[in-house]
Structures are given as structure tokens and as C-alpha cells.
Amino acid sequence: MSRPPQPKLTTAEHNGVSVIQSQAHTAAPPSPPPPALTGLQQVPQLLPTDPSSAGGKSPSKMKKPSADKDSDEYRQRRERNNLAVKKSRMRSKQKAMDTQQRVNELKEENERLEAKIKLLSKELSVLKDLFLEHAHNLADNVQPPAGAEGASPAPNSTSTNGQ
């Protein structure tokens, strides 16, 4: 909502982005325009009041025969719009970049999560095995053979995880 209600013409500096708005949109390309080359530029040269308008239909409509587009307000509006356009495009681009970045972040997180899953799965499987073993021991026999291997040496401390 930060909309500077007052369109102060002149070098407008909205944010940190400097928008050098040259007076005429003669375009100010990054590289110095070759002075002797392509001295062409879009010369709007619009029609002041449409000379060949069909037979003056409803002649009462032009407040100012001399001001339709060739000056003043028109120019001002154009300039404002140009600024708006620039801003909008910048935003758009920024957004695209942000989205891309988000993809990267999400990808990373995904990997992390997957690793974690792997770990947990492993732990689970180990515990389960131990359990089964135990159950077997209990069920199979009741007498612990002296040197029974794989029996139940000692519950020991579980590996525990490292969450």
C-alpha cells in the first residue's frame, strides 16, 4: 500500500532502486548510444488531433484542439505509466527468482528429510530384530545354554538416536 500518492515527477526514487527517468524517452541504453549510428528513435509524432477524421462527426468533443497527446498531461501520464511498468517488471522478475530459490530450498529440505527417514528406518529395523530375537529366546527355550551365541547377552543400552 505504499503508494506515494504524490507523483512527484523528476527523478523519482521509490526504493533503493534508482530509476533515472530521463526527460524524453530517447532511451538511455546501458551502453553509450553511438552518436553517429542509428540516430533513430521512436518518434511518436502522433497526430495532434486527427486531421483526417471522418467528416466532423460530433464536433463538440475536443476541449483542446491543441492538446490531445502532444503535450502536457499526456506526456505526464505516459511517464508515470512507464515507471509503473518498470516497477511491475522488476517485481515480476524478482518473484521469479524467489520462486526459483524456493525450489532449491525445498529440494535441500527434501534431501534432509529423506536422510532422516533412512536413519529412523534403520534404527527401527535394528530394534525390531532385537525384539524378535528376544521373543525367540523366550519362546524357544527357557534355559540359557552356557555359551549360547546370539542369545541375550545383555540388553545393553540401546543405540538411541540423535534427533
Partner DNA sequence: AACTATTGCGCAATGC
Partner DNA sequence: TGCATTGCGCAATAGT
Instruction: Using CB under 8 A, list all residues that contact a copy of itself.
Output: 36, 39-47, 50, 52-54, 69, 96, 99-100, 102-103, 106-107, 109-110, 113-114, 116-117, 120-121, 123-124, 127-128, 130-131, 134-135, 138, 142-144, 152, 155, 158-161, 163
Give, in degrees to the nearest 5, the angle at Cα 30 between 27 and 34: 70
The answer to the question of residue 19 lying near DNA (CB under 7 A) is: yes
Q: Is 53 in the site for DNA (CB under 7 A)?
A: no
Give the shortest CB-57-to-DNA separation in angstroms: 18
Q: Is 49 in the site for DNA (CB under 7 A)?
A: no
Q: Does 40 bind DNA (CB under 7 A)?
A: yes
Nearer to a copy of itself among residue 16 and residue 149 (C-beta): 149
* Least distance in angstroms from the C-beta of 49 to DNA: 13
User: Considering beta carbons, is residue 19 or 151 the nearer one to DNA?
Assistant: 19
Closer CB to a copy of itself, 11 or 26, in the complex = 26
SS3 letters for the chain?
CCCCCCCCCCCCCCCCCCCCCCCCCCCCCCCCCCCCCCCCCCCCCCCCCCCCCCCCCCCCCCCCCCCCCCCCHHHHHHHHHHHHHHHHHHHHHHHHHHHHHHHHHHHHHHHHHHHHHHHHHHHHHHHHHHHHHHHHHHHHCCCCCCCCCCCCCCCCCCCCCCC
Question: Is 69 one of the binding residues for DNA (CB under 7 A)?
Answer: yes
